[in-house]
Structure 1
Amino acid sequence: MKKIDRGITFVDKDMGLFKCPVCDEGFSKIVHKSIVCKQGHQLDFSKKGTLYFLKHGVKSDYDDEKMWQARRSVLTAGLFQPIIDKIASFLPHNKALKIVDAGCGEGSTLNYLDQQRAGLNDIYVGFDISKKAVDLATQISGNSFFCIADLAQLPFMTSSFDVIIDMFSPSSYEEFERVLKTKGLLIKVIPNKNYLVELRHMLYEKDDLHYSYSNDKVLTLFKQHYPQAKTKRLTYKFLLAKTNFESLLYMTPLHWGATESRISAALSQGLDEVTVDVSLLIIENN
């Protein structure tokens, strides 16, 4: 099946998940290769089977194909598999779930989660503001649907999803609460101070602001919204034997502020392993 046909089939089956970015009404039908809302506004499916929900063009540092290709390489090698395994452990295994990945990037998270929950008939939707990331996500022959959308105006109906996953992405908590079902789960993954610390120290001097990291601001904001949230820390070493160091370097914004000389030195030196140090913030929507 062509990508566009696969995307149309998904949306036709689960049209009730989506809302029009123009009028906020639900969609009512698919005509040819377009989806039409109840007020007659129309969105065309791309050749890759995606929908573009942004009302205006957006420039982003994250719309970098080299970065997304590097991220695909490292994630395929398993960098985040223990994190996704931990996420899966919090999900009920006795029913099918509607799961959305906020800031899905190139789609590896949903693909791996789908494999972990094979046979449960979950519905997976991923969105990102980067068109290049979403285009790359459609290359995965999985069961997920991907779209280009903005966190501040999610193209989903109220109380649409059982689970929201937010890995290393910004959050719009008001929108998350709107689209999450009652008793639904929000699982946000944030880096801790030792996340990729070896790479950070290779790229920056000790007196540089980027040499160290604190998640205090992110954690404080989350706890302001969800004081009853559970926090689970996960720390492990990832061996770089299955991928190359250059991909690790370019998959993360850590290199953006580094000098060319520091980047060159890091590429020459390389690393055998890196530390993954994250916290999972889990809340049930009331």
Structure 2
Amino acid sequence: MLKKIERGQQFVWQHTELFRCPICFATMTKQSHGLACQNGHQFDVSKKGTLYFLTHAIESGYDASLFQARGRMIQSGMYQPIIQRCAEALPGTRLLDVGCGEGSFLNLLTEHGQPQVSIGFDIAKEGIYQATNQPYGDFWCMADLTNLPFASQTFDRVLNIFSPSNYQEFRRILVPGGKVMKIVPNANYLKELRQAFYPDNLHKQQYSNERVLSKFFQEFPDATHERFSYVFKIPAKRQRDLLEMSPLEWGVPSVKKEELYQHPLETITVDVDLLIGTKPM
């Protein structure tokens, strides 16, 4: 069995055409430890089998425990209807997961949809390191959303789940007719958790995605829009993970957290919009 570093090296050597230098934007070529551009900028594959494309440090605020809890909740089936719908549009494609975190969404989508090539990236090394343990997903790297280290017109699908967008870069890397598949929270998403964490703060209990939707349809006027809204019964062994899987817990008093640890939620509302926009031919 190949080591992670060997798998990573083999992937980038076989797919050099997917990458471009994030420093000077030149094409990449194979070199002994990873990739390099004609201007001498070199990117070595790490022992974890990843590439580090960030040109400066970026703090995500997400730690390893959050990614672990998030991954366990995704694996528990919390988003299964959404994953099945997304997988329908993936077979035979080159897929890029923007803000992939620990890779659980891409892992399940790759398992179901079987794209030809799947790459996930994030700014958080804790997430990427965990992603390298996923059974599916071809390659993982650390990169900046505003300066993607990928060549123009190389991907068929961009997956954008609960993460920021850069539509200029998305259009650049997509082939004509390629699609952006974006999932955003809706008004009732995790409403029970928001109410439990902030019972006296109506502002934090409420959420609107109107600005996000407006921006997406501005970029892709012919986009499709589907809503998924259902109540998920949380497996008993995952009830604590729900409390730790998102930034919603940041700022919650320790007394309130302990109260919820002792009396965890048993159900949670999943309420999201799936937006699919197409780059013109």
Q: TM-score range by the shorter chain?
A: over 0.9
Match of 1:17 in 2: 18
* Equivalent residues of 2:88, 2:113 under 8 A apart: no
Structure 2 SS opposite 1:280: strand
* Distance in 1, Cα, partners of 2:237 & 2:113: 26
Greater alpha carbon shift after TM alignment, 225-234 vs 241-250: 241-250
Within the alignment, does 1:49 sit opposite 2:43 as a pair? no
Which among 86, 104, 107 is matched to residue 111 of structure 1?
Answer: 107
Residue deviations 1:69-88 (CA, integer Å, cap 9, x gap) = 11111111122222111111
Aligned AA (1:17): L
Contact 2:220 2:278 in 1 (8 A): no
- The separation in 1 between residues aligned to 2:191 and 2:135, in whole angstroms, is 34
* Separation in structure 1 between the aligned mates of residue 275 and residue 195 of structure 2, nearest angstrom: 26
Q: Secondary structure at the match of 1:283?
A: strand
Corresponding position of 2:72: 73
Within 5 Å, give how 1:208-223 maps onto structure 2: 208-223=202-217
Q: Which residue matches 1:268?
A: 262
Does the 8 Å CA contact 2:95/2:156 hold for their aligned counterparts? yes
SS, match of residue 66 in structure 1: helix
Q: How far apart, CA to CA, are the structure 1 residues paired with 2:106 and 2:134?
A: 10
Divergent runs of 4+, >3 A:
none
The amino acid across from 2:12 in the alignment is: V
Length, aligned pairs only: 279
Cα distance, 1:280 vs structure 2: 0.4
Q: Name the CA distance, whole Å, in 2 between partners of 1:38 and 1:242.
A: 54
1:40 is displaced (CA, Å) by 2.2
Matched, 1:285 2:279: yes
Q: Give the deviation of 1:262 after TM superposition.
A: 2.1
Show the counterpart of 1:100.
Answer: 96
Unaligned 5+ runs, structure 1 = none
Work out whether residues 108 and 136 of structure 2, in 8 Å CA contact, stay in contact via their aligned partners in 1: no
Q: Under a length normalisation based on structure 2, what TM-score does the superposition of the two structures give?
A: 0.95
Provide the TM-score with structure 1 as the length reference: 0.94
**Equivalents in 2 of 1:105, 1:200: separation in Å?**
22
Structure 1 counterpart of 2:4, one-letter code = K
Please say which of residues 6-15 and 218-227 is displaced more in the overlay: 218-227
1:257 CA drift (Å): 3.1
Aligned to 2:177, the other structure's residue is in SS state strand
Separation in structure 1 between the aligned mates of residue 212 and residue 200 of structure 2, nearest angstrom:
23
Q: Trace 1:31-180 onto structure 2 (pairs within 5 A).
A: 31=32, 33-62=33-62, 64-91=63-90, 93=91, 96-118=92-114, 122-180=116-174
| RMSD, aligned CA | 1.4
Quick one: distance in 2 between partners of 1:229 and 1:242? 38
Q: SS at 2:151's partner residue?
A: coil
Gaps of 5+ in 2: none
Structure 2 residue matching 1:279: 3-state secondary structure = strand
Question: How far did residue 242 of structure 1 move?
Answer: 5.8
Change (3 A) 1:181 1:243: farther
| Displacement of 1:109 | 1.1
